[in-house]
Structure 1
């Protein structure tokens, strides 16, 4: 988005990698613009690597913001950085090289760009469907990106999902949409479709039969992340005195849209024709 000069409050110039390059940050004021929402509407989101964000709302509509391209980008940078680090170590060089620092910087920029596009898509979906509440699963022990140059950061770097959550929270709240993190322990193991309580069990009624699929007690196969986002929503509402709220959710059956979410691929260009997602 274009930032007008009169909106800029501060310009920060931050040296990185011992002043090998500089990062510029614009601090500007963005006017809050509340969107029209409807009471009782919600969107639940389960974050993952292959499926960046598996989302479903109060009406049973569901979609996936694909994460495989981001995963591929991250993997390439990790391999290339590891290759250069190996050469550097053999030569006895202690500091990061300019080329390695550039790779760190390019990787970070690509991740920011990918996240910004995904956040914008979710915002546009919320606008189009008048969503008042967004729930995001929280608690996975994702390894976050540390400051560049830290020795621990020379190993494999994971995708910084906490950064995505912060971006999404800021953008949604700027438009008057409520944002809540939901502790997601046991949401992937318990079967939403069997009404299994979201808590630890010695034995679970459902099972993950293979990558990406979850089998309920009666043999129905559903997207495992769909089961996850439904349990995230169920857990939130039960903890807030609305037990049974999701029993009226449309499409919760083996052939319904909940079981077969629509996949949206990067660059995540939102089109009005995507409303409603059925």
Structure 2
């Protein structure tokens, strides 16, 4: 999620929350390191099937502010140079990408500094696709998390909790981003749900939409609570419908540009 019109609001908000979350981020970092360890049982039982959770994207891929998220410029062509090479201009928060803590917090962890053990984790898929088909701004609520736990057991320490809303099938259609009247609309997490996940020891959250918050969010409450706590998010996931609710392991190929607030990522799951 990225919108230049929000910059001033972001600055003001993150300064007011700095002291509140400084201690929480330290606590979170200590707990989240269990992600890769928690994934080991699932890895041992995996069938070997790999599911690509990443959309291929180009300058037509929808973005939060409506501007192209990636631009190509030919630097070398096979004729006469003997090889191909593009110069790319990329905005961090486009395509399937990571939101690092720094994206919505002053002094938060940058994407290159995310502990690598947090980039392999048990994957829990919460399916709200039926509700999202009726309500384009549907949210993952605490009741959805409680229902998942009731059906599948406790959330593993450091797990990634992914929202499956069915939105991935809308890529290429304007409804992935907007209602017919142009109003932004897509599912996301509720703040109450992510607070519950933080208490449960989850390490990251993911969505198959453009933003961790629903499209009609006016305050980006999830971004302002989840990211400053030292956790990260993944936006624009693909193919969550091909995964079980529990038992898969996610591999998050985070970019490593120094000081980055996030960036396009290659994300896969092993089932």
TM exceeding 0.5: no
TM-score, structure 2 as length reference: 0.29
Higher gyration radius (CA): 1
TM-score, structure 1 as length reference: 0.29
